[in-house]
């Protein structure tokens, strides 16, 4: 019987349990994976705390992003998938398709093959972060050479992916982090500039860095009251892209800055990429090619053994990490 992670009550990671369950056969349009590594996402923490847009029906599995090998396919799925090394693209129901465990059953259309130069640990840290950043910066923001791009929560896996995309397009990244503890590592990982928001005047630093032009693309997962400063630091006609609510507070609409600067304030999720098959295919190819030739390199903050799942999520919630937290599955 495969082991999976499940929780029976809402709350913190201490509620997560490793349990034995019967092997699940894939249904129509589904595949079963033998999981080798699982990338942790902030959405999972929000989910088991009961604050995600999808409410858990306990007992519930969890998990969005795993790398593994296809070992069985359901009706209507090409048997050529069997034996392929793949990683999952988030966007499905964790109630129905939670992936954290020794096996996972998922829809075939969330699979993405990954380049052979990646390990399963690295492959568990690619699709969510690179596709999320791609959709915001390339599809929504239309990034091009010479742009200034602000990236709050830059030490997250999505933030680091954004830094690499900015560099690949010949633009200038401005990483934003709350404390100075991560400044040097962010610079070493490719950020052109770092603003420590708890210690520095964001707007003043942006004016200095951009020669008073302002930031054309702001890619923000924090929201809350800080959106006012981000809007103030934006350029005329700039894009303020909001893709999360890490602040955990109400987010005002920056009316005056939006009017004066003709800002494009855009709510965004990965679904803007994945819900259209042609867009998703183009996005996957964009990421795959750059992973294969080394332009993109996923940053692994720390790995945990499967038996250390609770500790892994506690570490995720500590906000100490720079990059992706990954669980290895035996």
Give DSSP secondary structure letters for 194-221. Answer: EEETTTS-HHHHHHHHHTT--EEEEEES
CATH code for the part of the protein at 129-271: 3.40.50.720
Give the pLDDT band of residue 9 (cuts 50, 70, 90). very high
Q: Which long-range contacts (CB under 8 A, 24 or more apart) does 164-169 make?
A: 164/190, 164/290, 164/295, 164/296, 164/297, 165/130, 165/133, 165/134, 165/137, 165/138, 165/296, 166/137, 168/290, 168/295, 168/296, 169/137, 169/138, 169/143, 169/144, 169/145
Residue 79: DSSP 8-state? G
- Domain(s) of CATH 3.90.180.10: residues in the chain: 3-126+299-328
CA angle 127, 133, 138 (to 5 degrees): 120
pLDDT for 82 equals 98
Tell me the pLDDT tens digit for each residue of 217-238.
Answer: 999 999 999 999 999 999 999 9
Q: 53, exposed or middle or buried, with CB in 10 Å at 0-12, 13-18, 19+?
A: exposed
Is residue 293 within 8 Å of residue 315, measured between CB atoms? no
Give whole-number Cα distances, 92 to 36, 151, 246, 285, 317, in Å. Answer: 20, 26, 21, 21, 22
Secondary structure of the chain: what % helix, strand, coil (to 5)?
A: 35, 25, 40
Show Cβ contacts of residue 41 under 8 Å, excluding neighbours closer than 6 positions. Answer: 64, 65, 90, 128
State mean pLDDT over 113-120. Answer: 97
Domain with CATH 3.40.50.720 in the chain: 129-271
Q: What is the CA radius of gyration of the chain?
A: 20
pLDDT tens figures, 253-312: 999 999 999 999 999 999 999 999 999 999 999 999 999 999 999 999 999 999 999 999
- C-alpha to C-alpha distance for 107 and 138, rounded to whole angstroms: 26
Question: Which pLDDT value is given to residue 195?
Answer: 98
**b/e per residue 93-118 (b: at least 16 CB within 10 A):** ebeebbbbbbbbbbbbbbbbebbeeb
Q: Which fold has domain 3-126+299-328?
A: Quinone Oxidoreductase; Chain A, domain 1 (3.90.180)
Pair 242, 220: CB distance under 8 Å: yes
- For 127-184, what is each residue's pLDDT tens digit? 999 999 999 999 999 999 999 999 999 999 999 999 999 999 999 999 999 999 999 9
Structure tokens at 226: 């800080």
Backbone angles phi, psi at 75, to 5 degrees: -60, 135
pLDDT range class, residue 330, cuts 50, 70, 90: confident
Mean per-residue pLDDT over the chain, rounded: 97
Residue 53: which pLDDT band, with cuts at 50, 70 and 90?
A: confident
Assigned token pair, 107: 């829809």
Rounded Cα–Cα distance for residues 162 and 135 (Å): 10
Closest by Cα among 5, 88, 80, 9 to 49: 9
CB 177 within 8 A of CB 196: yes
| Predicted local distance difference test score (pLDDT) of residue 144 | 97
Residue 256's CB is within 10 A of a number of other CB atoms, namely: 11
Give the strand pairing for 3-7 and 16-20: antiparallel
C-beta of residue 187 within 8 angstroms of C-beta of residue 176: no
Does an H or E element contain 131, and which? helix 127-134
Alpha-carbon 42 to chain mean position: 8
If 0-12 CB within 10 Å is exposed, 13-18 middle and 19+ buried, where does residue 131 land?
buried
Indicate the Cα dihedral angle 51, 41, 265, 232, nearest 10°: 100
> Quick check: bond before 234 cis, omega within 30?
no
């Amino acid at each position: 019987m495969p082991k999976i992670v499940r929780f029976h009550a809402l709350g913190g990671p201490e509620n997560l349990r490793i349990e034995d369950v019967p092997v699940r056969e894939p249904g129509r349009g589904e595949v079963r994976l033998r999981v080798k590594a699982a990338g942790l996402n902030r959405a999972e923490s929000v989910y088991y705390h009961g604050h995600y847009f999808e409410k858990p029906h306990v007992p519930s599995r969890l998990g969005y992003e795993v790398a593994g090998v296809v070992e069985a396919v359901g009706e209507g799925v090409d048997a050529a998938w069997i034996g392929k090394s793949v990683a999952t693209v988030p966007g499905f129901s964790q109630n129905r398709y939670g992936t954290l465990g020794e096996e996972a059953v998922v829809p075939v259309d969330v699979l993405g093959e990954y380049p052979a130069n990646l390990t399963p640990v690295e492959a568990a840290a690619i699709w969510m972060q690179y596709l999320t950043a791609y959709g915001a910066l390339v599809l929504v923001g239309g990034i091009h050479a010479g742009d200034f791009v602000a990236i709050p929560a830059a030490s997250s896996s999505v933030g680091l992916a954004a830094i690499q995309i900015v560099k690949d397009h010949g633009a200038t990244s401005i990483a934003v982090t709350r404390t100075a503890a991560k400044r040097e590592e962010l610079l070493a990982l490719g950020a052109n500039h770092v603003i420590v928001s708890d210690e520095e005047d964001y707007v003043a630093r942006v004016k200095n860095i951009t020669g008073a032009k302002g930031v054309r693309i702001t890619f923000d997962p924090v929201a809350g009251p800080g959106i006012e400063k981000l809007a103030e630091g934006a350029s005329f006609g700039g894009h303020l892209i909001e893709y999360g609510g890490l602040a955990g507070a109400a987010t005002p609409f920056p009316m005056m800055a939006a009017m004066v600067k003709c800002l494009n304030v855009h709510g965004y999720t990965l679904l803007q990429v994945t819900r259209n098959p042609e867009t998703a295919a183009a996005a996957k190819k964009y990421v795959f090619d750059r992973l294969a030739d080394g332009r993109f390199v996923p940053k692994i903050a720390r790995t945990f053994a499967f038996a250390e799942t609770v500790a892994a999520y506690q570490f995720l919630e500590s906000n100490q990490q720079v990059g992706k937290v990954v669980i290895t599955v035996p």
